Amino acid sequence: MRELVVGAAQLGPIQKADSRADVAARMIALLEKAAARGCGLVVFPELSLTTFFPRWLFEERAEVDAWFEREMPSAATRPLFDRARELGVAISFGYAELTPEGRRFNASILTDRTGAIVGKYRKVHLPGHSEFDPERAFQHLEKRYFEPGDLGFPVWRNMGALMGMMICNDRRWPEAYRVMGLQGVELILLGYNTPSVNSQNSAEGLEKRLYHSELSVCAGAYQNAAWVVAVAKAGDEDGHPLMGGSVIVDPDGFVVARAQTEEDELLVHACDMDATRFGKTTIFDFARHRRPEHYGRICAQTGAEIPEE
């Protein structure tokens, strides 16, 4: 048994006017709660430090850059790193990254128990659009503010487990899980900000959106025999609702813990990394059963190519 007690630290809403320091204090409160419940690792959502700013159109570079971190730890997050190190708890959280070269990514990091960053991931699947879209009920300008991630889907050895990260929309793409599955991933950490309504289809209800999120995460866990910790930023951000639905999913694809609120909320589960062994050595023993000679299209094309009539 290789048990790792994992905390999924869902965050409630963050308003535009909230400071990073305020948010970091909320994260520290969740971290302390998690440590008291025996967690060795705590996972926070996508863009943990700010409101989901891609819903707003900013024209000026300075207005955009105000949402980004130029270094990590930053001044506002240093207390979080310090507390995590004192408690001996590893953390993972998302933030907007501005590199020294002026590149912008939707990123997440993973630390070890000493607070040292052992992994960084940059979101690959950026949803939304890059220009103001008057047809939408609200904007989703991730393609305006971020470049697609350039680091692939790495897997790191951390705390005796094989860990990978993905961010929000990535969870809907089986390729993301499989690339990590092909590196033996045992624990996938995933943060998200998902609006409770579809900006292009007001008839799509919350129930369907929660279902699609959970369906994707459960399928990814099962088909790659890995634990998945999926953590929301939820609640009403300046009149824009984000759904909750944070879950911890086992390697059989079952939900073992589910958030009940759209507030700051902690889920805890003791995840046995050896529970990934059975699936990885039987039905999803990739070495024995995969047929990559038939998967060429996966890497060769993006849009569907329909057979001719």
> Which residues would be at the binding site for ligand CDV (CB under 6 A)?
46, 127-128, 140, 168-169, 172, 192-194
Total length of the chain: 309
Distance CA 204, CA 197 (A): 7
* Shortest distance in whole angstroms from residue 95 CB to ligand CDV: 13
* Shortest distance in whole angstroms from residue 125 CB to ligand CDV: 7
Q: Which of 39, 69, 97, 168 does the annotation list as catalytic? A: 168
Q: Which of 39, 69, 123, 218 does the annotation list as catalytic? A: 123
**Quick check: is 280 catalytic?**
no
CA atoms within 13 A on the CB side of 16: 9
Secondary structure element (H or E) that encloses residue 175, with its range: helix 174-181
Read off φ and ψ for residue 177, nearest 5 degrees: -65, -45
46/186 with CB nearer ligand CDV: 46
107/168 with CB nearer ligand CDV: 168
Q: What tokens appear for 15 in the block?
A: 């308003």
**Quick check: is 123 catalytic?**
yes
Closest CA to 169 of 195, 192, 144: 192
**Quick check: is 168 catalytic?**
yes
* Shortest distance in whole angstroms from residue 268 CB to ligand CDV: 24
Closest CA to 159 of 258, 43, 26: 43
Closest CA to 271 of 21, 38, 70, 65: 38
12/128 with CB nearer ligand CDV: 128
169/276 with CB nearer ligand CDV: 169
Q: Which of 46, 97, 237, 265 does the annotation list as catalytic? A: 46
Q: Which residues are catalytic?
A: 46, 123, 168
